[in-house]
Amino acid sequence: MITAQAVLYSQHGEPKDVLFTQKFEIDDENLTPNQVVVKTLASPVNPSDINQIQGVYPSKPEKTTAFGTSEPAAPCGNEGLFEVLKVGDNVKGLEAGDWVIPANVNFGTWRTHALGEEQDFIQLPNPTQSKANGKPQGLSLNQGATISVNPMTAYLMLTHYVKLNPGKDWFIQNGGNSAVGKYASQIGKLLNFNSISVIRDRPNLEEVVEELKELGATQVITEEQNNSKEFGPTIKGWIKESGGEAKLALNCVGGKSSTGIARKLNNNGLMLTYGGMSFQPVTIPTSLHIFKNFTSAGFWVTELLKHNRELKLKTLNQIIEWYESGELKDAKSTETRFDGSKELHELYKDGVANSKSGKQLITY
Amino acid sequence: MITAQAVLYSQHGEPKDVLFTQKFEIDDENLTPNQVVVKTLASPVNPSDINQIQGVYPSKPEKTTAFGTSEPAAPCGNEGLFEVLKVGDNVKGLEAGDWVIPANVNFGTWRTHALGEEQDFIQLPNPTQSKANGKPQGLSLNQGATISVNPMTAYLMLTHYVKLNPGKDWFIQNGGNSAVGKYASQIGKLLNFNSISVIRDRPNLEEVVEELKELGATQVITEEQNNSKEFGPTIKGWIKESGGEAKLALNCVGGKSSTGIARKLNNNGLMLTYGGMSFQPVTIPTSLHIFKNFTSAGFWVTELLKHNRELKLKTLNQIIEWYESGELKDAKSTETRFDGSKELHELYKDGVANSKSGKQLITY
């Protein structure tokens, strides 16, 4: 019998007010034939996890009394890495020691253990398996626990909508220094796409520009340059020289930053919006729509992959391959280990509070 | 020998400052085998004609000295109805008396006569031909001269992008009282689509609402209702009751009006922008893009049909059929006849000046 713990909420609200830790038991001695018991290795605090708790996110877990609460309560967390502890007699695809991630969102990953069935999980190679397969390196906890959202978002936005011609065509993105932005720069380079990353001006601008170019951004410009008419011809020059076109814009900011990147596209361009950090709406000059046949669409990895397991697996496999070869670097997280000195929900509350200054990962 | 006249400009500027009338000769006694001589029956003043003269429209005619000017000059006008006067020996598809419109934009329709070849024109039935074909009625001058832009725009936006299920699905449009808006309401009804037309509040609101409903709008609402959260459930109720979805929005206003109609769409909705009467950009809440998979695109009839003659002919034939059956009413124009009492360019200058108060048509 395992005494497990999960972070739950029964009422929506600010995480600091509504999270609590619930203990519950998993009877690992009497598994039904299809059951799988896993223990958590790590799970991050994502913005969407926070929005789910606040009740302002359109996808959310069902409330349940299955954790033994008197009131129905919902588990927190959508991304996480687990290790298989034990499997039922009919489970053929997984065994103890395997690394898995949830197959679907709303699984509840802010917990110590979970009981599920084989189809609830997708296997990742654990470091021993990567080594046995002759790979240069295995996945880190952070790579495994954060593989489902940011790198998948970057890869799918770059490949699923517009065909960029390698060595020629360009994409432009704002939020170039964000986690997704860094993945997009790297993946762009791996796929041989030219890219322009827009970032905010800052005291150590040159340093960040160099870092992003090292990751793979072809050019890095500031929001001021993005909004400047005078700077436009410089960008047109880069694109012309490449013999390609700027076909795709990735927007996680909105407002005039979205207008700026939209204007850089050639005719028939597409902008995908996957975030709105400025809290300003996406703003598109009428003439871009009419005379440049510009299209503005949305991207939400959850919805895209909900009914497309094949695409999810294909994308995961590509990311895994790049992690194992060392060609793709993960966005670093601040890691905090659950060692029992604080209650589990207190760790995640701290994680939420600290998430403004960088991605937080709780390890077990 | 025909002494013809055309309205030209050699410098971009306000029409009142730059238009002039140029006389030129058409040698109709010595046609080459493929030539066609036509005389103009009517041509309208469209906003895009004005923008071309101002130099702010992306599609424009080449300047030429073919009209006999010392400086290169460009002909004005894109839509118009002509009657064939005479054809060369090899021309098989046209004969004297046939009605034709230009096959392409930038033809120059503000003129008394033109010389072209068969492929420069598309034939419409003249009233005698419609009668001979047993049609209830022939096309009027206004219908023929304005068939290429507004009714085609409305029909193509309603049919070329999204499949609306007849009897169930909805489109919503702002500018419901505009020429395109009225065509869209009528064509929507002919295709059995439900529709919501948004119009500005006005003293004779009830009268206009009744007129638009008579034309075919299922519902007519004001911009205030379009922007009102409180009114949202009423619209949702209409849509729910129909058993369909709101799948398409047509935007010719921009700004908060575009936000309002975008918000009314169900998941996976498309908004087509074909105008920007408010001079405000298209404004889209980030959450619509991400969580409702909303897409905002542009529509420009010129570009869509430039390389798609088949679609142009198919669309034209549908509009002609509805005009001949009397099922589709044209947007009325104020008609002014060129009787020689004023120079030709003066008539069009007056037409430009008066176009704010309604569509202007010059007849010959």
pLDDT digit string, tens, across residues A18-49: 999 999 999 999 999 999 999 999 999 999 99
Query: What is the per-residue pLDDT for B18?
Result: 98
Q: How many CB pairs under 8 A join A and B?
A: 96
pLDDT given for residue A364 in this prediction: 97
Do you know the residue count of chain A? 364
- Residues of A within 8 A of B287 (CB-CB) are 276
Contacts of A273 in chain B (CB under 8 A): 286, 289-290
What DSSP designation does A114 have?
A: E
> Among B124, B145, B106, B184, which Cα is nearest to B333's?
B145
Contact B293 A276 (CB under 8 A): no
Taking the model in full, what pTM does it have?
Answer: 0.95
For B59, phi and psi rounded to 5 degrees?
Answer: -105, 130
pLDDT in tens, B232-280: 999 999 999 999 999 999 999 999 999 999 999 999 999 999 999 999 9
Closest by alpha carbon to A356, among A77, A59, A149, A50?
Answer: A50
pLDDT, average across residues A166-172? 98
Torsion of CA B22, B23, B26, B27, to 10 degrees: -140
Query: Of the candidates A276, A283, A303, which has its C-beta nearest B293's C-beta?
Result: A303
Are A6 and A24 within 8 A, CB to CB? yes
Best mutation target, B149, B251, B271, B286, to test chain A (most A CBs within 10 A):
B286
In this complex, the residue of A283, A292, A298 whose CB is nearest that of residue B289 is: A298
CA distances from B360 to A129, B259, B347, B363 (A): 77, 31, 10, 10
Closest alpha carbon within chain B to A59: B291
Nearest Cβ partner for A284 among B274, B281, B286: B281
pLDDT (0 to 100) of residue B23 = 97
Question: Which run of H or E residues covers position B257?
Answer: helix B255-263
Which segments in chain B show pLDDT lower than 70? Answer: none
Distance CA(A210)–CA(A152), nearest Å, equals: 24
* Residue A197: pLDDT band with limits 50, 70, 90: very high
Report CB contact under 8 Å: A275, B290. Answer: yes
Instruction: State which residue of chain B sits closest to A56, comparing Cα positions.
Output: B287
Mutate to test the interface with A, among B290, B294, B303 (most CBs of A within 10 A): B290
Contacts of A284 in chain B (CB under 8 A): 281-284, 296
Q: Write the residue in A58, A273, A292 that is nearest to B289 by C-beta.
A: A273
Confidence of residue A53 (pLDDT cuts 50, 70, 90): very high
| Predicted pLDDT at A310 | 96
Catalytic residue among A9, A57, A274, A323: A57
Q: Which pLDDT score is estimated for B321?
A: 98
Domains and CATH numbers, chain A: 2-140+330-363 (3.90.180.10), 154-302 (3.40.50.720)
Segment A58-80 shows an average pLDDT of 96
Residue positions of B annotated with a catalytic role:
57
Q: How is residue A291 written in tokens? A: 């005379």
A276 CB contacts (<8 Å, ≥6 apart)?
A: A252, A253, A254, A282, B286, B287, B290
Contacts of B23 (CB under 8 A, 6+ apart): B3, B4, B5, B68
The alpha-carbon gap from A328 to the nearest alpha carbon of chain B, in Å, equals: 26
- Contact yes or no for B249/B261 (Cβ under 8 A): yes
Tell me what pLDDT residue A201 has: 95
pLDDT at B221: 98
**In this complex, which of A58, A288, A296 lies closest to B295 when CB atoms are compared?**
A296
Check residue A118 and give its pLDDT.
96
For residue B61, the distance in angstroms to the closest alpha carbon of chain A comes to 16
CB contact under 8 A, B282 and A289: yes
Mean pLDDT over A142-168 rounds to 98
Banded pLDDT at A173 (limits 50, 70, 90): very high
Per-residue confidence (pLDDT) for residue A38, from 0 to 100: 98
For residues B130 and A104, give the distance between their C-alpha atoms in angstroms, rounded to a whole number.
62
Look over chain A and give the mean of its residue pLDDT values, rounded to a whole number.
Answer: 97
The burial class, CB within 10 Å (0-12 / 13-18 / 19+), for B297 is: middle
Contact A296 B297 (CB under 8 A): yes
Instruction: Identify the residue whose tokens are 């059956």.
Output: B325
DSSP 3-state assignment of B37?
strand
Report pLDDT for A230: 96
pLDDT tens digits, one per residue of A80-130: 999 999 999 999 999 999 999 999 999 999 999 999 999 999 999 999 999
Number of alpha carbons in the 13 Å side-chain half-sphere of residue A156? 26
pLDDT computed for residue A81 by the predictor:
98
In chain A, DSSP finds a helix count (H) and a strand count (E) of 14, 17
Which residues on chain B place their C-beta less than 8 Å from a C-beta of chain A? 58, 254, 259, 273-276, 281-300, 303
ipTM over 0.85: yes
Among residues A242, A274, A263, the alpha carbon closest in space to that of A156 is found at A274
**Mean pLDDT value of segment A323-332:** 96
Structure tokens at A111: 């917990």
Strand-pair category, A81-87 with A35-45:
antiparallel
